[in-house]
Structure 1
Amino acid sequence: MSFNHSVIWIDHQEAHVIYFNPTASESEVIKTRSTHKNTHHKSGSVSGSHAGPDEHYLHEVIQAVKESKEILIVGPGSAKLELMKHATKHDHLTADKVVGIETVDHPTDGQLLAFAKKYFVKADALKGDTIITG
């Protein structure tokens, strides 16, 4: 089945990826292999620096949405921006498909899908594309 849209909810531990079209959706969860639980500045660090993003994790998330035509990235913290920076640096074709980056706390997958559909209704209407309903 072809899914034109994807939404990624991401934090530093896991990413919820939902692929969808007007009539169906599929989802998957991608988890980091990093042992760093907290990447905030000075958190448990003698040097005062923070752990860098898990590049393998970010790459895996970007690969998951490579076939999507439009991508929305959401999340509660800086991981969504790190994902976009990673995509821009390593896969500019996928980065060009990102239509928005939004701050969203910790929704259920159902809430995330509803948020994404509502977002894409507005984005698609502005471009004159087919409207997603339901």
Structure 2
Amino acid sequence: MNKNHVVVWIDHREAHVLFFEGANEFIGSNTTHTHLHHKANEIGSGNAPEDRKFFDAVVISVADINEVLLVGPGSGKNDFVKYVREHYPALAKRIVGSETVDHPTDPQVVAYAKKYFARIDSGKFAHT
């Protein structure tokens, strides 16, 4: 397995941890929330609650990787980045990007990530 790069497609319900070599991982959340929207005159932000066990499982799966690219729709990846910054600052420094993509297949995510990391490795753009 290549310990240099990994791409994680993540939303609030699931994560696909995709290695360029070796076995990939699927991590599911136990949350029952689907799409949430804030409604006027109601308590709460309208955002899915943080699922610490889910986020921790993703952290464990990428703990020994040098560079992590996060992709996914909506705010799930952003919530994960916030969680990692607060609870795992060493890992947060290894997140090289957070890109919005909808629901591609796993091979499409890996192809996207290979191009992304090739650009980073060639020095064409800096880490985010």
Please indicate the TM-score interval, normalised by the length of the shorter structure. Answer: 0.7 to 0.9
SS of the aligned residue for 1:59 comes to helix
Provide the C-alpha distance between the structure 1 equivalents of 2:106 and 2:22, rounded to a whole number of angstroms. Answer: 11
Identity %: 46
The one-character-per-residue Cα deviations of 1:11-70 (angstroms, maximum 9, x if unpaired) are 1110011122xxx24311100011122233239x95253242212211211111011000
Quick one: which of 108, 114, 117 aligns to 1:117?
114
| Count of residue pairs brought into register by the alignment | 123
Provide the C-alpha distance between the structure 2 equivalents of 1:55 and 1:40, rounded to a whole number of angstroms. Answer: 21
Unaligned runs of 5+ in 2: none
Change (3 A) 1:122 1:25: farther
Quick one: which of 55, 66, 71 aligns to 1:69?
66
Provide the C-alpha distance between the structure 2 equivalents of 1:112 and 1:25, rounded to a whole number of angstroms. Answer: 15
- TM-score, scaled relative to structure 2: 0.86
Aligned-CA RMSD value? 2.0
SS of the aligned residue for 1:26 comes to coil
Relative to structure 2, which stretch is displaced further, 52-61 or 67-76?
Answer: 52-61
Q: How far is 1:117 from its partner? A: 0.3
Provide the C-alpha distance between the structure 2 equivalents of 1:98 and 1:48, rounded to a whole number of angstroms. Answer: 29
Matching residue's letter, 1:84: V
**Which structure 1 residue ranges, 4+ long, deviate > 2 Å from structure 2?**
38-43, 45-51
Show the counterpart of 1:17: 17
Alignment of 1:79-90 (within 5 A): 79-90=76-87
